[in-house]
Structure 1
Amino acid sequence: MKLPQMGPAFLVTAAFIGPGTVISASLAGANFGFSLLWALLFSVIATIILQEMASRLGIVTQEGLGENIRLACKNKLLKVIALILTVSAIVIGNGAYQSGNILGASLGLTGIFSDIKLFSHISIWPLLIGILAFVILIMGSYKLIERALMVLVGLMSFAFIATFIISEPDLKSFFSGLFIPSIPSGASLTVIALIGTTVVPYNLFLHSSSVSKKWHSPKYLNEAKKDLYFSIPLGGLISIAIVSTAASAFFGKNISINNAADLAPALKPIFGDFSSIFIAVGLFSAGISSAITAPLAAAFALTGILNLSKDLNSYSFKLIWLSILLIGVIVSSLGYKPISIIWFAQIANGILLPLVSIFLLWIMNTDKLGEYKNNKLQNILGGIVVMITLLLSTRSLMSAFGML
């Protein structure tokens, strides 16, 4: 069977498999075993439903979701509200998540080479990772970015799936957790985290804009679908592998796992240096791939909503992604744990996800798409995803405000 040509959906996979996903998936497996795998299966299906719409929108209209939201909002008040919410959520959310991406990649390098300090207390890795992301983005070549992410996602896939195989999971518990939904006591926030790190609103902007750069006619819709149906499940498989590895290694064994930093050293006595290196490579690949796509997604989204040039070489496009990248490098280099910023990003994400999903569903039913607008089944599936994301976002917002 011929594999589909890798395309824009690979950027989506690279974006949602970041350190946040690694942390959430590790904690889910360590604390609840295989019982929450169904949440990842739902996340993959929901992501495919929404990203297919975003992809179709970008190819048919040759405009990203940002442009389509701006053009669809004829009412001035609605346009201002949409603009303020989108801009604030993307800038704050991507800036906060970018620091986590860089810290995650730094953790991976520390696991391989140990930490190297500048000025006695500042790690050198965030700066080097920021420079690497800058070099890839400043080249201004979509194909270069796409190929770099293919390599990183390939490394990440190999690292986490190989570690999953080494861990020899209980297959009965694995398939039970994957297909039989259950929420153990105290697991509701973990379910929200697993879904929230997979169904990411800025990926809708990233995907709709990137497909319009690669494919210029509706005749390529099937090619875009093949790209989507291969890349998104691959990302889900990586997440499932992380949960299963943590479940096999830590669940029920009284080993404390608080964050991704505990994952690599905790595996060392069980699987040896070989598995520890796999985890470190996976963390680095997850961090650096998301560190490239988060600024890129912010630039696509904001240039579209603000009616600026979305050419990768334009000054406005470069200024936006550079701002997000600098925020991430500075925050991650200070050595702080930006918990309050990440909680604020979660609030922004909670507001943005159902909002963007509703806008997307609305636009996909306009006459602008002609014969390519949503059919009845697509609307039903999209409506179900919107309702669930709205419920989850409300729960997430309530939790976030309770923590402030």
Structure 2
Amino acid sequence: MTDNAGGESTGVTERIGGYAADMGPSWVAGAIAAGPATIASLVTAGATFGYDLLWVVVLSAGAGALAQYLAMRLGLLTERGIVAVVEDTLGEPWAWLLVVDGVLAAGVAQLVIMKTVATVSATVTGVDARIWGVVWAVILALGLAGRGYRFLELAAKLLVSLVVVAFVASLFVVPIDYGAAAQGLVPAVPSGGALVAAGILGGAVHITLITMHSYTMRSRGWTREDYGTASFDVGASMLVAFGIYSLAIFLVTASVLTSADLSTVGAAQALGPLVGPSAKWLFLLGLWGAAVSTLGGNTIVPPFLLADKLGWGTTIEDDRYRWLLVATALLSAPGAFIGGAVLGQLVLVLALGTVGTPFAIAVVLYLLNSGAVPDRNSTLANVGGLALLLVTGTLAANFVREQVAGGVGPLSGFVLAVAAVLGVAILGLGGKYAAEEVV
């Protein structure tokens, strides 16, 4: 029996080792999730509310892993891009709605992420941020259009791993009140905290992460036979790496910072006089790596969605897709010229994405319970998906309510209009599914 047990243990170890060696697609999603917008939300939450929103931070990792798991199932079971599946199953208007929703969220985020990358680069090197914006745009265009997806995947795994190490290391030079942190595990949203909570959750559960996953798996060549590897990939990247990353940043800022009126770079610099230069540089280098990895991952989202809708290939073997990559990369350069404090812009970008995310979740759930897939969702997966839809929908509604309460201006009016259209679309999907089940 000892030999059998040893053999089984060796087999499990080898299987896990094989999974770890083959990981990739979900790490690209993790690279986007573990970005400056998430850092901005965590910094704002910790500096403004202390440990009160720790429960949202913990929830975000589990919710992010669940969202990616559902997206992974759809991609593997159909072995197609999500836009093509939506068009064949629901029709062209639904496909265009998903494309517009995803491209809008990713496009706005791209500009603000570029601003962050350029700002951090300028802080570290002393070279003007606007110059860095142009430099990074060219690097993106050459790297993605020249070497394609595998270049991005390798960079994502390397950068996310280094970022996690940097932020975890900062925990050892910052005093943490673990008793107060434990109290923050009790769910409660403090006054004025809805936007920040939406931003934290939006970093892990975002329409760009959900829609891109079927394409990154296709780029890797994964099929239904790779289900175990794909599941391990999601758990390792979103649940473990992203969870540790978010927890470390939140605990550091909640323990030390007392002002939310900081840029992401300002938060790093504020740590210096409070807890020493080591914390400052660990945080700053972590932010830099996170910003670069997120910029690269986010760049591929609009080309994936548009190319699939237009019937083009979604790899650089198709020159049309290659030029979409180049255009998206170069159009991100103006982000470095945007004025204003980047912290509030990053939180707002994530929260805006949260408004579009419930629709993407509803689409994935519908498809996973339709004839689009050979094996319908299990009851447990559906319960988890509906819970995810409820949580993201509630946070999105709270965000819209806060925006409208401040007066309906151009921005809040736009958010309200988008939320209304997508809300009607979600109800339409629910009604369509109910009617089909009754028949």
Selected match of 1:192 from 179, 187, 198: 198
Selected match of 1:145 from 147, 152, 163: 152
Against the structure 1 CA distance between its residues 256 and 40, is the aligned structure 2 distance closer, same or farther, given a 3 Å change threshold? closer
Q: CA offset at residue 71 of structure 1? A: 1.4
Where do 1:200-219 residues align within 5 Å? Answer: 200-219=206-225
Residue 90 (1) aligns with residue 102 (2): yes
Determine if contact 1:130/1:325 at 8 Å carries over to the other structure. Answer: yes
Give the equivalent residue in structure 2 for 1:24. Answer: 41
Give 2:361's aligned amino acid. Answer: S
Against the structure 1 CA distance between its residues 157 and 348, is the aligned structure 2 distance closer, same or farther, given a 3 Å change threshold? closer
Q: What 5-or-longer segments of structure 2 have no aligned partner?
A: 1-12, 410-439
Please give the alpha-carbon distance, in whole angstroms, between the structure 2 residues aligned to 1:41 and 1:99.
Answer: 28
Against the structure 1 CA distance between its residues 398 and 307, is the aligned structure 2 distance closer, same or farther, given a 3 Å change threshold? farther
Residue 397 (1) aligns with residue 404 (2): no
Please give the alpha-carbon distance, in whole angstroms, between the structure 2 residues aligned to 1:346 and 1:23.
Answer: 10
Please give the alpha-carbon distance, in whole angstroms, between the structure 2 residues aligned to 1:347 and 1:265.
Answer: 25
Selected match of 1:378 from 353, 377, 381: 381
Give 1:180's aligned amino acid. Answer: V
Summarize deviations over 1:217-262 as a string: whole Å, max 9, x none: 32210111111111002112111111111011124xxx45433132
Determine if contact 2:37/2:350 at 8 Å carries over to the other structure. Answer: no
Q: CA offset at residue 351 of structure 1? A: 4.5
Where do 1:153-192 residues align within 5 Å? Answer: 153-177=160-184, 179-192=185-198
Give the equivalent residue in structure 2 for 1:310. Answer: 314
Residue 239 (1) aligns with residue 246 (2): yes
Aligned residues: 389
Give 2:67's aligned amino acid. Answer: L
TM-score (norm 1): 0.88
Determine if contact 1:95/1:327 at 8 Å carries over to the other structure. Answer: no
Please give the alpha-carbon distance, in whole angstroms, between the structure 2 residues aligned to 1:203 and 1:156.
Answer: 19
Q: CA offset at residue 346 of structure 1? A: 6.2
Where do 1:74-153 residues align within 5 Å? Answer: 74=91, 79-80=92-93, 82-114=94-126, 116-117=127-128, 123-153=130-160
Runs of 4+ off more than 6 Å: 338-344
- Greater shift, 200-209 or 104-113, is seen at 104-113
Q: What 5-or-longer segments of structure 1 have no aligned partner?
A: none
Give the equivalent residue in structure 1 for 2:82. Answer: 65
Determine if contact 1:50/1:204 at 8 Å carries over to the other structure. Answer: yes
Q: CA offset at residue 337 of structure 1? A: 5.8
Please give the alpha-carbon distance, in whole angstroms, between the structure 1 residues aligned to 2:215 and 2:180.
Answer: 40
Selected match of 2:59 from 42, 48, 52: 42
Give 1:105's aligned amino acid. Answer: V
Please give the alpha-carbon distance, in whole angstroms, between the structure 1 residues aligned to 2:76 and 2:314.
Answer: 15
Helix, strand or coil: the match of 1:9? Answer: helix
Determine if contact 2:26/2:237 at 8 Å carries over to the other structure. Answer: yes
Summarize deviations over 1:252-277 as a string: whole Å, max 9, x none: xxx45433132121011123332222
Determine if contact 1:156/1:283 at 8 Å carries over to the other structure. Answer: yes
Determine if contact 1:351/1:393 at 8 Å carries over to the other structure. Answer: yes
Please give the alpha-carbon distance, in whole angstroms, between the structure 2 residues aligned to 1:124 and 1:72.
Answer: 46
Q: CA offset at residue 338 of structure 1? A: 8.2
Helix, strand or coil: the match of 2:317? Answer: coil
Please give the alpha-carbon distance, in whole angstroms, between the structure 2 residues aligned to 1:167 and 1:173.
Answer: 15
Give the superposed CA RMSD: 2.5
Summarize deviations over 1:274-310 as a string: whole Å, max 9, x none: 2222122111111111111111122222222333221
Give the equivalent residue in structure 1 for 2:419. Answer: none
Against the structure 1 CA distance between its residues 112 and 324, is the aligned structure 2 distance closer, same or farther, given a 3 Å change threshold? same
Identity %: 22
Q: CA offset at residue 322 of structure 1? A: 2.9
Determine if contact 1:39/1:194 at 8 Å carries over to the other structure. Answer: yes
Q: CA offset at residue 368 of structure 1? A: 3.4
Give 1:319's aligned amino acid. Answer: W
Helix, strand or coil: the match of 1:360? Answer: helix
